[in-house]
Amino acid sequence: MIHLIAKPLKGKKEKLYGQIEEKLREEGAEYEFHFTTRGGEAREFAGRCSAAGDVLVAVGGDGTLNEVLSGMDSALCPLGIIPAGTGNDFAACAGIPSGITALDLILHGEPKKTDYIAFSDGRRSLNIAGLGIDVDILLRCERNKRFRFRSKYFFSLISSLFRYRGCEMKIAANGEQTEGNMLLAAVCNGRQFGGGIPICPPADISDGKLELILVDCPKRTRIPFALIRLMKGRVLDLPFAHRITCESCELVLAQAGMAQYDGELKETGSLSARVVHGELGIFRG
């Protein structure tokens, strides 16, 4: 049985869902769609459906994927992904094509072992979780209703350039501790976020390691320069950027604030993360 978890039919997705059903019928596959009606319901569907060891498929963007991962029993069933969101950053990293083509991987491929990030508060992340200016940008995106995602992200980024003051935190990884005012702190399993921004090109989703990217908050005049480097995938060239390869890490905020987990915003006081290796199977490239 294939369980497909998705948001309700709307616009282009209605056409995609029709293509998915047609393909599944042609292949003689047994399937069921589970459409969400509220936040958190994808997580509940995933918990119930994964208990039987069936195939779970997240149809949507990184937010839907994050909810499915957070609710499923990753040791019992494999996970398929049909990218249909605005960013699809993890799918790009995992070699999963957009739209109906992704269904061929699920129907005819084999799941491959894939790492994910587990947090001490029970949350999970497949791609990237973090604190700092990326969270500030996403918060501004949520308040901006005038533009589509890519335009909202661009204008929110410009706004953050002039207003963001940094994020005070303590950091622990590989038995070492440090603290400072950070422009950005990201725990990476995947390589990109924000709809294609390559924050950590060396990241590998199956190596059993996390990549912790820390960017010290520079003088305000240097923030635009730092973000240009980030957009080009060269943030690690900056003298005030640091990459730490680890299996676990902890980021503790001086004051409770917002963190992002694959683009999903949650209030927290810390991120205590560890990599989970060899448990989850994903149909991917």
pLDDT recorded at residue 140? 81
Confidence of residue 151 (pLDDT cuts 50, 70, 90): low
Q: Which two tokens stand for residue 231?
A: 């957009």
Which single residue is written with the structure tokens 């980021």? 251
Q: Would you say residue 157 has pLDDT above 60?
A: yes
pLDDT recorded at residue 40? 87
Long-range contacts of 252-258 (CB under 8 A, 24+ apart): 252/169, 252/170, 252/171, 252/172, 253/131, 253/167, 253/168, 253/169, 254/168, 254/169, 254/170, 255/168, 257/131, 257/135, 257/167, 258/131, 258/135, 258/139
Percent of the chain with pLDDT over 70: 94
pLDDT recorded at residue 158? 72
Most confident of 38-47, 48-57, 110-119, 231-240: 110-119
Looking at the domain covering 2-110, what would its CATH class be?
Answer: alpha beta
Confidence of residue 95 (pLDDT cuts 50, 70, 90): very high
Q: Would you say residue 247 has pLDDT above 60?
A: yes
pLDDT in tens, 174-233: 999 999 999 899 999 999 988 888 999 999 999 999 999 999 988 877 877 877 887 788
Q: Does the domain formed by 128-277 have CATH 3.30.230.10?
A: no
Q: Residue ranges of the domains in the chain?
A: 2-110, 128-277
Residue 224 phi, psi (nearest 5): -60, -40
pLDDT in tens, 53-91: 889 999 988 889 999 999 999 888 999 999 988 788 999
Residue 30 phi, psi (nearest 5): -85, 125
Once rounded to an integer, what is the mean pLDDT over residues 119-143?
A: 88
pLDDT recorded at residue 228? 82
Q: Would you say residue 109 has pLDDT above 90?
A: yes
